[in-house]
């Protein structure tokens, strides 16, 4: 896939995709978490990686920021091998990853995003401060900046973490389960921001287990350890493919709505696999 | 009342003890804040006691106690990292194994050396009222290093405490930061075991930062509050121990922990007083 709206400046440069994976495998001991994935993501697009729990979608996302190194295969991000600490990639982790006993204000938390650009000692520039303020505005957390992280609701916290990612001013934004199970304001704010990022020519890759969310993306990658289907959601998320990925727990309603019967969002087979 | 305070500090040994205590509290507050926030208390405790065999060995062969202790600390840290990485055991088990092994080794060395039990007591409980000028110099250097490293690596320490994965993706070198933190903990312990003893170092590494975490809303504030709270208990502890004849290090350590519970109780009380009681409202309506 190629960018559909390459502007004049970009037209002279060779077209480098946002992400290119070639035969990527990730194993944890004897367990295969990601099996032989080939995938290309064009710049300026949004991609949803969807699948049941333990299908390898977060693992796949983690390879893009270098957090996990593939056991085999090549991961190229914006034309270079994926590496931790790349300024060009912002990775918003799941909220559960953070230690919220650290006393932090919302503004301090968002500021951390700019450390990616400045490193351990570099001074924040006026541009960094502007990016921090903009990120706070875009996530509608301006009235919360002096609040403690622990005092916020789950949705507010998620918006703080996305703002932290935006403050990094990266070209590729990775979001791990950004809107699942959160309040409407949060869902709308984050969804709108994803669209804005795309409009600004940046790329967004997110994971979700919600088919509705995946339908908002340009491309959906349906995972069940390996890629079951990839392409525009109306092509990749058809019931046959969903049935393959979710192991038959798929019901098609009369109006065409797809319902996933995934009790507690758990598939013990995959959980066991991940635990090894 | 002024005499109760002025009289003890007329003695040079009391002023030295106060200076040593305050310098230790300063360094341990900066370092202990991260220990408390990252849940590394057990690691701190293990290091505080795991330096024993190196110190004991250095004592027996007439070497430098600080170098001996530092070597012990390196063995501890490398051992814990290796056991965690090479087995399925959690870090707490690795720490426990090295902790008890090193402590046992230290006690064995001391007993084999025929040294009197007083040596072990000195290492565990220090000798705050026998502080020399050279001890004070070591404590001052440790306080300066703790401040310098905390300022230089603040972003790495902060983001690592918040989330290791986030520190990795932001390129803030969490592994280097983690090792630097452990090295700081070891340094604080070694710089003060002769003066205040490992028990008190561990107490001021944990209790004042934990007390401060109940009150502060930002990490730098937490450090400052910890320095203030810790200093207060050093001062009060010295006075109490002087007038009542209690063991100095144990008195300060005990008061620091008591202070934590005092603040916790006070905070609980304030929260209860502020919160309207729901049954009363329901009955009124």
What's the pLDDT tens digit per position in B99-108? 999 989 988 8
The answer to whether residue B281 sits within a structural domain is no
What was the pLDDT predicted at B220? 96
- The residue ranking higher by pLDDT, A135 or A276, is A135
Q: How far is the first Cα of chain A from the last one, in angstroms, to the nearest whole number?
A: 36
Domain that holds residue B71: 2-273
Nearest-by-Cβ selection for B152 from A85, A98, A121: A121
Regions in chain B scoring below 50 on pLDDT: 281-285
What was the pLDDT predicted at A273? 37
Flag whether pLDDT at A270 surpasses 60. Answer: no
- Please report residues of B whose CB lies closer than 8 A to that of A63: none
The answer to whether residue B63 sits within a structural domain is yes
Chain A closest CA to B2's CA: distance in Å? 39
Q: Which residue of B has its CA nearest to A82?
A: B169
Determine the residue among B151, B166, B177 to mutate to test chain A binding: the one whose Cβ has the most chain A Cβ atoms within 10 Å. B166
Mean pLDDT of A252-257: 63
Are the beta carbons of B139 and B191 closer than 8 angstroms? yes
B190 membership: H or E segment, kind and range: helix B174-192
What was the pLDDT predicted at A62? 95
Record: contact B162-A109, CB cut-off 8 A: yes
What was the pLDDT predicted at A262? 56
Nearest-by-Cβ selection for A120 from B153, B216, B219: B153
Q: Which two tokens stand for residue A252?
A: 């098609």
The domain spanning residue B86 has which CATH number? Answer: 1.10.3470.10
- Please report residues of B whose CB lies closer than 8 A to that of A98: 162-163, 166
DSSP state letter for A55: S
Domain total in chain B: 1
For A247, left (φ over 0), alpha (ψ -120 to 50), or beta?
A: left
Q: Which residue of A has its CA nearest to B153?
A: A120
Mean pLDDT of the residues in chain A: 86
What was the pLDDT predicted at A10? 47
Chain A closest CA to B11's CA: distance in Å? 41
- Please report residues of B whose CB lies closer than 8 A to that of A103: 213, 216-219, 221-222
Report the C-alpha gap between A135 and A126 in whole angstroms.
14
The answer to whether residue B218 sits within a structural domain is yes
* Residue B29 C-alpha from the chain's centroid: 8
Chain A interface includes B196 (CB < 8 A): no
Pairs from B36-41 (Cβ < 8 Å, separation ≥ 24): B36/B206, B36/B209, B36/B210, B36/B213, B37/A99, B37/A101, B37/A102, B37/B161, B37/B209, B37/B213, B37/B219, B38/A99, B38/B160, B38/B161, B38/B181, B40/B181, B40/B185, B41/B206
Nearest-by-Cβ selection for A99 from B163, B221, B222: B163
Report the C-alpha gap between B43 and B55 in whole angstroms.
19
Determine the residue among A28, A102, A106 to mutate to test chain B binding: the one whose Cβ has the most chain B Cβ atoms within 10 Å. A102
- The residue ranking higher by pLDDT, A253 or A27, is A27
The answer to whether residue B165 sits within a structural domain is yes
The answer to whether residue B100 sits within a structural domain is yes
State the pTM of this model. 0.88
Strand ordering across the sheet containing A203-208: A89-92, A172-175, A203-208, A46-50, A219-224, A226-231
What was the pLDDT predicted at A85? 84
Chain A closest CA to B96's CA: distance in Å? 24
The answer to whether residue B285 sits within a structural domain is no
Alpha-helical regions (H) of chain A: 8-12, 57-64, 106-118, 126-138, 154-166, 184-199, 211-214, 233-236, 239-246, 268-275
Q: Which residue of B has its CA nearest to A119?
A: B172
The answer to whether residue B248 sits within a structural domain is yes
The answer to whether residue B91 sits within a structural domain is yes
Chain A interface includes B226 (CB < 8 A): no
What's the pLDDT tens digit per position in A193-218? 999 999 999 999 999 988 888 999 99
Flag whether pLDDT at A42 surpasses 60. Answer: yes
- Please report residues of A whose CB lies closer than 8 A to that of B219: 102-104
What was the pLDDT predicted at B221? 97
Flag whether pLDDT at A276 surpasses 60. Answer: no
């Amino acid at each position: 896939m190629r960018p559909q709206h390459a502007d004049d400046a970009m037209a002279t440069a060779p077209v480098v995709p946002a992400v290119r994976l070639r035969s990527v495998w990730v194993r944890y001991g004897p367990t295969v978490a990601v099996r032989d994935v080939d995938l290309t993501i064009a710049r300026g697009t949004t991609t949803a990686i969807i699948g049941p729990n333990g299908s390898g979608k977060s693992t796949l996302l983690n390879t893009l920021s270098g957090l996990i190194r593939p056991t085999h295969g090549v991961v190229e991000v914006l034309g270079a091998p994926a590496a931790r600490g790349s300024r060009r990639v912002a990775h918003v982790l799941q909220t559960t990853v953070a230690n919220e006993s650290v006393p932090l204000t919302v503004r301090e938390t968002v500021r951390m995003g700019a450390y990616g650009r400045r490193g351990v000692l570099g001074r924040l520039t006026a541009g960094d401060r502007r990016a921090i303020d903009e990120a706070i505005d875009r996530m509608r957390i301006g009235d919360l900046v002096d609040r403690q992280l622990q005092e916020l609701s789950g949705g507010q916290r998620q918006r703080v973490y996305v703002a932290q990612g935006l403050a990094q001013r990266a070209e590729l934004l990775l979001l791990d389960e950004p809107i699942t199970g959160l309040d409407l304001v949060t869902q709308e704010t984050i969804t709108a921001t994803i669209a804005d990022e795309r409009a600004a020519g940046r790329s967004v890759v997110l994971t979700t287990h919600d088919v509705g969310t995946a339908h908002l993306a340009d491309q959906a990658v349906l995972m069940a350890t390996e890629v079951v289907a990839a392409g525009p959601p109306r092509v990749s998320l058809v019931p046959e493919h969903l049935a393959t990925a979710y192991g038959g727990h798929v019901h098609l309603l009369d109006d065409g709505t797809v319902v996933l019967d995934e009790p507690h969002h758990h598939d013990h087979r995959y959980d066991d696999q991940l635990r090894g | 009342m002024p005499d109760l305070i002025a009289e003890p500090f007329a003695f040079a040994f009391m002023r030295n003890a106060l200076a040593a205590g305050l310098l230790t509290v300063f360094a341990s507050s900066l370092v202990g804040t991260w220990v408390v926030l990252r849940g590394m208390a057990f690691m701190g405790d293990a290091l505080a006691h795991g330096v024993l065999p190196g110190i004991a060995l250095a004592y027996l062969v007439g070497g430098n106690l600080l170098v001996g202790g530092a070597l012990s600390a390196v063995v501890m840290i490398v051992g814990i990292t290796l056991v965690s990485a090479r087995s399925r055991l959690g870090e707490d088990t690795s720490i426990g194994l090295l902790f008890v092994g090193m402590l046992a080794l230290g006690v064995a060395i001391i007993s084999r050396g025929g040294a009197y039990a007083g040596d072990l007591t000195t290492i565990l409980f220090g000798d705050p009222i026998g502080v020399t000028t050279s001890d004070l110099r070591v404590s001052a250097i440790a306080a300066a290093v703790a401040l310098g490293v905390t300022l230089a690596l603040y972003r790495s320490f902060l983001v690592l405490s918040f989330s290791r994965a986030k520190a990795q993706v932001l390129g803030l070198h969490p592994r280097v930061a983690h090792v630097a933190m452990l090295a700081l903990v070891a340094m604080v312990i070694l710089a003060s075991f002769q003066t205040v003893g490992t028990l008190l170092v561990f107490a001021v590494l944990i209790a004042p930062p934990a007390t401060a975490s109940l009150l502060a809303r930002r990490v730098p504030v937490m450090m400052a509050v910890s320095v203030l709270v810790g200093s207060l208990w050093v001062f009060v502890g010295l006075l109490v121990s002087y007038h009542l004849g209690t063991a100095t290090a144990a008195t300060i350590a005990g008061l620091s922990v008591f202070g934590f519970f005092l603040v916790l109780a006070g905070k609980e009380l304030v929260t209860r007083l502020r919160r309207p009681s729901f049954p009363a409202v329901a009955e009124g309506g």
